[in-house]
């Protein structure tokens, strides 16, 4: 994997559509996702940890398109996926690929990605930013529709309790 391309992807700013108190980059988010994976599932494969660190790197071509925009416009989501596939095609030619994950690992990545979002929402709310309350509520609803294992349920309940104290 070409280091320069990966670092460039890590510099993408997240949350550009919501006023936030602290800036978050893809690099910071991805590190958080990897840490959550290691906390919830300490015996995770290296492929899953690698995927956590790289899962949003292709946003250097698309920017951080809000999930709500993709949900409201499936055509946009499809085109964004095409752009990300082009990115991974370029990376593959440089001797690197996004790890192939088993279905259970894909679910764990999705869970950890959303858990990191919830943590960020709480951090923003602690700084007085009420813009993230709605994002938190929507994220919890999304998580409740996933098949969570015991460690994930425990963390989700902990986050819900933390947010309720704010």
What percentage of the chain carries pLDDT values higher than 90? 69
- Cα–Cα distance, 60 to 6 (Å, whole number): 9
- Which pLDDT does position 93 carry in this prediction? 55
The CATH number that applies at residue 30 is: 1.10.3210.10
Total domains in the fold of the chain: 1
Domain boundaries, position 42: 3-164
Note the pLDDT tens digit of each residue in 75-125: 998 988 888 888 777 766 555 667 889 999 999 999 999 999 999 999 999
Query: How big is the CA angle at 142 (ends 123 and 7), to the nearest 5 degrees?
Result: 55
* Full-model pTM: 0.90
- In DSSP notation, 10-53 reads HTPBP-TTS--SS--BHHHHHHHHHHHHHHH-TT--HHHHHHHH
**Confidence label for 162 from pLDDT (cuts 50, 70 and 90):** very high
The mean-pLDDT minimum among 24-38, 60-74, 76-90, 109-123 falls in 76-90
């Amino acid at each position: 994997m070409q280091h320069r391309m990966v670092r460039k992807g890590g510099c993408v700013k997240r949350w550009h559509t919501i006023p936030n108190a602290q800036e978050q980059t893809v690099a910071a988010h991805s590190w958080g996702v990897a840490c959550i994976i290691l906390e919830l599932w300490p015996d995770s494969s290296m492929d899953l940890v690698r995927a956590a660190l790289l899962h949003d790197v292709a946003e250097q071509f698309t920017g951080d398109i809000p999930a709500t925009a993709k949900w409201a416009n499936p055509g946009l989501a499809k085109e964004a996926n095409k752009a990300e596939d082009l990115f991974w095609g370029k990376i593959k030619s440089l001797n690197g690929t996004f790890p192939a994950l088993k279905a259970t690992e894909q679910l764990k990545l999705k869970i950890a990605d959303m858990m990191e979002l919830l943590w960020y929402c709480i951090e923003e709310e602690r700084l007085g930013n009420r813009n993230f309350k709605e994002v938190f509520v929507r994220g919890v609803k999304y998580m409740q529709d996933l098949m969570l294992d015991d460690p994930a349920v425990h963390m989700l309940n902990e986050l819900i309790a933390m947010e309720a104290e704010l």
